[in-house]
Amino acid sequence: MFGIEPGLFNDDRLARALDAIAPHLEHGAGTVGARAIAEFGIDVSRLHWDMTSMSVHGAYPAEGQDEDVPVIGYGHPKDQCIDLKQAQAGLAVCADGGIPVHVRIFDGSAAEVSQVVGAMKEMKDLRTMAGTRDFLMVADSKLVPYSNVAALLTAGVQFIAPAPAAQVKDEVYAALDLTRATTVDWVPGRDAGKAAAQRESYRVLEDIHTLKGARKSDPELTVRRILVHSTANAAGQQAARDTA
């Protein structure tokens, strides 16, 4: 009656549209992100990067999937559903308003630790398009392995991430002198209404941390390390020891 092709209204229409967009997705998303940054004056000097997994039900055989797009497969799911295959997504959110400005989809089997450098380069491009000089990348402990730190230092990117527990030996903590630590002038929001003696407090020490590569020829890398003591964490760990 309206002269419109019936196929435009069937159940596969959305899937066909997504297939048509897929080859241009990264360029399109990057262009939209850069335009939004310029249009609304979003500050992208500090970006928080993390990955998550999305478990799926179904067989999803590898031989039937398009290799030009992320492949659904087994990996290390965040929801611990190890019997299900998954896809993964990486998201960069700016500290200014918590606005997502960059997203990328990864194979289900992709190792999270090996995606950091690629994300860093793409976010640097985004920052350059936005005309921002400074850039701070904030991530979890997957950021800290030697290869990632080497790439970040080479690129001149500032970063902050928690050090994996295995990188800081027990004797380092045992040797710390809390009397030399600096008390942080900050109160958690949950303690704002409490008396001073009941508030959680933090003390910090700073030193230099050295990372060594797997090969003898790898140069040693040095980064600033900040060690934080929390009275609430200390009390919780003491209670756990007393219970044990």
CA dist., res. 104 & res. 29, Å (int):
9
What is the per-residue pLDDT for 14?
A: 85
Which range marks the domain in which residue 241 is found?
163-244
What is the per-residue pLDDT for 112?
A: 85
- Domain end residue (candidates: 161, 189, 223): 161
Q: How many structural domains are present in the chain? A: 2
Strand partners, 211: 221
Is the domain of 172 the same as that of 105? Answer: no
Q: What is the separation, in whole angstroms, between the first and last Cα of the chain?
A: 76
- Domain end residue (candidates: 126, 161, 196): 161
Q: In the 8-state DSSP scheme, what is residue 210? A: E
90 within 8 A of 103, measured Cβ to Cβ: yes
Kindly give the confidence (pLDDT) of every residue in the chain, 244 residues in length, as a single tens digit, with 9 standing for 90 and above.
Answer: 788 887 777 888 888 888 888 888 877 877 887 788 888 888 888 889 999 999 999 899 988 888 878 899 999 998 899 999 999 999 888 888 888 888 888 999 998 888 888 888 777 776 666 666 678 899 999 888 899 999 989 888 889 999 887 778 888 888 888 889 999 998 889 998 899 888 999 999 999 989 889 898 999 999 999 999 999 998 998 999 998 7
User: Would you say residue 40 lies in a domain?
Assistant: yes
Is the domain of 114 the same as that of 178? Answer: no
User: Would you say residue 64 lies in a domain?
Assistant: yes
Is the domain of 150 the same as that of 219? Answer: no
- Domain end residue (candidates: 140, 161, 182): 161
Is the domain of 182 the same as that of 102? Answer: no
